[in-house]
Amino acid sequence: MREATRESDRGVGRRVSRIAAAFARARDEGRAAFIAYLTAGDPSPDATVALARALERAGADVLELGVPFSDPIADGPVMQRAATRALSAGTTLAGVFAMARRIREETALALVLFSYVNPILRYGVEAAARAARGAGLDGVLLTDVPPEEAEAVHPRWRAAGLDTILLVSPTSSAARMADAARLSSGFLYVVSRPGTTGERDRLPEDLPETVRRAKRAARKLPVAIGFGISTPATAFAAASLADGVVVGSALVHEAERGGEEREARVERLARDLVAACRRPRRTAR
């Protein structure tokens, strides 16, 4: 297990979040940070914790722990099936916090709570922020909270010591990207294409320009690309553009197909994706 990277956990110095430390470590190693996604509770809490351990063994830096939701409007078929399985197994937000606590005890992954806002509102924003911090989570990403509405909820997450991560997309204006970056810490998440999540075999042609605009808005804040990255080739292409690469549907689909072999299959795919995030060394002339 990698050494935990919060300075405050050791009781000295100014707090540096695990998310910031993960990006710094990846940069120092000449690669993009690898950010994996799992739907919490799919197919069970024990399986989720075991898959988190497999992802760390494969070299993942950050884990987005998805809260299953009954109306996942931004999710494609793979994620919808995963949410249905998790909800059928009785997964609740309190259960997700319990899984996060176990993952924090067993790994050094930076952990992001990935959720639609409704489960958070039902739980209570302040209570959810306290529970997330107590469970060892490091950040939160609310997929359906735009910058215009973020100031109503994000200060409570910040007060609990959590990073807040917002989404931008190819259709985001420069002003909206600037607002999202101003309200973000940890990293700024670039959605590679409009529409729902899902596996793709190539990235959009306009993605380099979208990332350039996002980087201008983000300034020193790391930028990560997600949605549609599912193969080493697409991961390599994304890593050449951004500081982080997010993969969700491909890993969830591999777990779904894997049955009793799900851990080995997810670990194998994740290793290939992590390797693809390494940038070629530049040779001196």
Whether pLDDT at 116 is above 50: yes
Whether pLDDT at 127 is above 60: yes
Structural domain includes residue 12: no
In this prediction, residue 9 has a pLDDT band, given cuts at 50, 70 and 90, of: very low
Q: Any residues with CB less than 8 A from the CB of 12 and at least 6 apart, and which?
A: none
Can you tell me the mean pLDDT for 260-281? 93
Write the CATH number for 256: 3.20.20.70
The pairing of strands 167-168 and 188-191 is parallel
Tally of structural domains, the chain: 1
Indicate the range of 65-69, 119-123, 255-259 predicted with least confidence. Answer: 255-259
Where do runs of H (alpha helix) occur along the chain? 18-28, 45-58, 77-88, 93-106, 117-123, 125-134, 147-150, 154-159, 174-182, 207-218, 232-239, 249-258, 262-276
Q: Give the amino acid at 57.
A: R
Beta bridge partners of 165: 141
Structural domain includes residue 152: yes
Structural domain includes residue 283: no
pTM of this prediction? 0.90
Encoded tokens for 249: 């549907």
In this prediction, residue 6 has a pLDDT band, given cuts at 50, 70 and 90, of: very low
Range of the domain at 240: 23-276
Instruction: Provide the mean pLDDT of the chain.
Output: 90
**In angstroms, rounded to a whole number, what is the distance separating the alpha carbons of residues 153 and 200?**
33
Structural domain includes residue 16: no
Structural domain includes residue 3: no
What was the pLDDT predicted at 192? 87
Residue positions annotated with a catalytic role: 64, 75
Q: Give the amino acid at 89.
A: A
Residue 38, classified by CB atoms within 10 Å of its CB into exposed (0-12), middle (13-18) or buried (19+), is buried
Chain segment 237-247, per-residue pLDDT in tens = 999 999 999 99
Q: Which residue has the tokens 């390797």?
A: 275
Structural domain includes residue 10: no
Structural domain includes residue 136: yes
